[in-house]
Amino acid sequence: MATVAVIDYGMGNLHSVAKALESVGENVRVVVSGEPAEILKADRVVLPGVGAIRDCVGEIRRLGLDEVILRVAADRPLLGVCVGMQLLMDHSEENDGVDCLGVFPGEVRSFTHMPQPESGEKLKIPHMGWNQVQQTDTHALWHDIPQDARFYFVHSYYVEPAAPALIAGTSVYPVAFTSALARDNVFAVQFHPEKSQHAGLQLYTNFLHWTV
Amino acid sequence: MGLAKRIIPCLDVDDGRVVKGVQFVDIRDAGDPVEIARRYDEQGADELTFLDITASHEDRDTMVHVVEEVAGQVFIPLTVGGGIRTVDDIRTMLNAGADKVAINTAAVHNPEFVKQAAEKFGSQCIVVAIDAKRVSADGEVERWEIFTHGGRKPTGIDAIDWARKMVAYGAGEILLTSMDRDGTRIGFDLALTRAISEAVTVPVIASGGVGELQHLVEGVQQGHADAVLAASIFHFGEHSIEEAKRHMAAAGIEMRL
């Protein structure tokens, strides 16, 4: 039976990610683990994340999971979710600047740099709620998900990849930002598929079927 | 194209049962929170909020089971409020599958608790619930104060100052209830909603007073709310969530349909 590991580094709620994968995964074993050996045994891996990035990076390094994530990123399907996406970048400006794992070249930036909306209303931060995702390529993870489908977001920082070719999806708040990244066997999303009802469950289904 | 406004049905749960009366024609067990949550999810609810109004502490375990059960079946954001007083209470609810917790009275008694909670779990899961009541007389400059104990106990704290303080302490969202309007079905206190929404940088959920679909439109367009919360208009089957969303979209509000 194929195994998908959800990386547990002690930050936040992994219950919903695991439940969503279980609900769509036929013949798939879902393990929530912070054990390097167990994660490296899995066929595919999800890197979730919530909270402050300095704490996330700190725990990942302390548990020796940084090396594990880099190995997984080199040889099997890996999905980064929310802060899990941001962790894959080079660097984040959150918490006065934090070096991340460098799987994708680029920066994590604050929404406070964004222009204010033309409507005159204040730009609310965090960016919270259901926003549309424009798919900028025909990736296997977008299979059966309509163009401009809505996903649930909650975040105050967003990624700015160094190369436009890495972008798999964009959203607008109040101008376009990158909401999905893809390269080879790695995919990453800023939104929460496990909280995005049908569209989100479809993305997890696609991830479980993804052959690289 | 962009971020949609949200509709959030609210379920008051007492010892594992939804109270305030919920009447769906085709649900046999009208008070089962899991079944009601599933129904609202199918109708397109953008999030769900559970308020635990259980009086005794022992019965709180029941709420944890409700959240676990719902989180295993419904894949939209879940907020749990009512009786959240300690870091352990928050951890318990998040581990059960809640995405956010709403802190109300405990924030008034100990504002530092909000700071601790946000540092520990991140602002994204800390909602501060504000129960406000108008204290200005007609003709005076409008003022609202924070009340506790279901609107009975004044605190003397100005609602706008309080909202700003809670955001500075790490609240990621404000759930704003007008105690003057709660249960009246005559619409939100729009002046209050707008005053708070313009005073803070985080999203504001308007609550208290919804009696018809047009009130939801007003909450967004005149109150500048980012989300609208309602209970009875959905519970009694007068309107479905889907109908409410279509009504708001027809008024020009961006919605997830």
B58 has pLDDT over 70: no
Q: Is A34 helix (H, G, I), strand (E, B) or coil?
A: coil
B59 carries an active-site annotation? no
Confirm or reject contact between A111 and chain B (CB < 8 A): no
Kindly list the distances between the CA atom of residue B85 and the CA atoms of B103, B105, B163, in Å, as whole numbers in the listed order.
Answer: 7, 8, 19
- Whether B218 has a pLDDT exceeding 90, the answer reads yes
Rounded-to-integer distance, Cα B203 and Cα B207, Å:
13
A36-50: per-residue pLDDT in tens? 999 999 999 999 988
CB proximity A176 to B under 8 Å = no
Residue A60, domain extent: 2-209
pLDDT tens per residue across span A53-69:
999 999 999 999 999 99
Residue A76 has pLDDT above 90, yes or no: yes
Task: Give residue B176's pLDDT.
Answer: 98
Residue B172's closest chain A neighbor by CA?
A: A126
- Active-site residue, A194 included: yes
Asked if A77 contacts A44 with a C-beta cutoff of 8 angstroms, the reply is: yes
- Of B72, B7, B5, the residue nearest B34 (C-alpha): B72
Chain A CB contacts of B73 under 8 Å are: 23
Q: Is A117 helix (H, G, I), strand (E, B) or coil?
A: coil
pLDDT given at position B28: 46
Q: What is the mean pLDDT of chain A?
A: 95
Give the residue ranges of DSSP H helices in B1-137.
33-43, 60-71, 87-96, 105-109, 112-121
In terms of pLDDT, which residue wins out, A176 or B32?
A176
The pLDDT-based confidence of A10 (bands split at 50, 70, 90) is: confident
Q: Is the peptide bond before B33 cis (omega within 30 degrees of 0)?
A: no
Contact B198, B192 (CB under 8 A): no
What is the chain B residue with the closest CA to A18?
B72
Least confident of A116-125, B79-88, B159-168, B222-231: A116-125
Helices and strands (H, E) in chain A, number of each type? 6, 14
Position B187 scores a pLDDT of 96
Nearest-by-Cβ selection for B173 from A122, A128, A172? A128
The rounded percent of chain A whose pLDDT value lies above 70 is: 99
A residues 141..160 contacting B (CB < 8 A): 148, 150, 152-156
Chain A partners of B46 at a C-beta cutoff of 8 Å? 129-130
pLDDT surpasses 80 at A136: yes
Query: CA A170, CA A167: separation in Å to the nearest integer?
Result: 7
Amino acid at B94: L
Chain B interface, best mutation among A16, A158, A202, by max B CB count within 10 A: A16
Could you tell me which residues come within 8 angstroms of residue B78 by beta carbon, excluding any fewer than 6 positions away?
B47, B48, B49, B50, B67, B70, B71, B97, B98, B99, B100
Give the closest of A19, A52, A124 to B226, CB-based: A124
**What integer is the mean pLDDT of A155-170?**
97
With bands split at pLDDT 50, 70 and 90, how would you rate the model's confidence at B31?
confident
Given the residues A22, A35, A82, A93, select the one marked as catalytic.
A82
Note the ipTM here. Answer: 0.94
Q: Nearest 5°: CA angle at B236, between B51 and B181?
A: 60
Q: How many domains does chain A have?
A: 1
Q: Which of A93-102, B46-55, B221-230 has the lowest mean pLDDT?
A: B46-55
pLDDT band at A147 (very low <50, low <70, confident <90, very high): very high
Q: Which residues of B touch A192 (CB under 8 A)?
A: 77
Report which of residues B148 and B204 the model is more confident about.
Answer: B204
Q: Is pLDDT of A71 > 70?
A: yes
Mutate to test the interface with B, among A131, A158, A197, A202 (most CBs of B within 10 A): A197
Give the CATH number, domain containing residue A188: 3.40.50.880
Confidence tier at B15 by pLDDT (50, 70, 90): confident
pLDDT-based confidence at B21, cuts 50/70/90?
low
pLDDT (tens digit, 9 = 90+) per residue, B160-180? 999 999 999 999 999 999 999
pLDDT category at B30 given cuts 50, 70, 90 is low
- What is the mean predicted confidence (pLDDT) over A4-21? 88
Name the residue in chain A with its Cα closest to that of B45: A197
In the predicted model, is pLDDT for residue B150 greater than 80? no
The pLDDT of B177-206, averaged and rounded, is 96
Partner residue opposite A197 with nearest CB, options B76, B172, B201: B76
State how far Cα B172 lies from the chain centre.
13
Q: How many CB atoms lie within 10 A of CB B60?
A: 16
Secondary structure letter of residue A116 according to DSSP: P
Report if pTM > 0.80.
Answer: yes
Question: Which residue spans within chain B are E strands per DSSP?
Answer: 6-14, 17-18, 48-52, 78-81, 100-103, 126-134, 144-148, 153-158, 173-178, 204-207, 227-230
Marked catalytic residue, from B12, B41, B52, B180? B12
Structural tokens at position B201 = 């940088």
**Phi/psi of residue B134, nearest 5 degrees:** -70, 130
Cα distance between residue B165 and residue B72, in whole Å: 35
A154 vs A128: CA distance, rounded Å: 4
Closest alpha carbon to A203 in A18, A6, A21, A3: A21
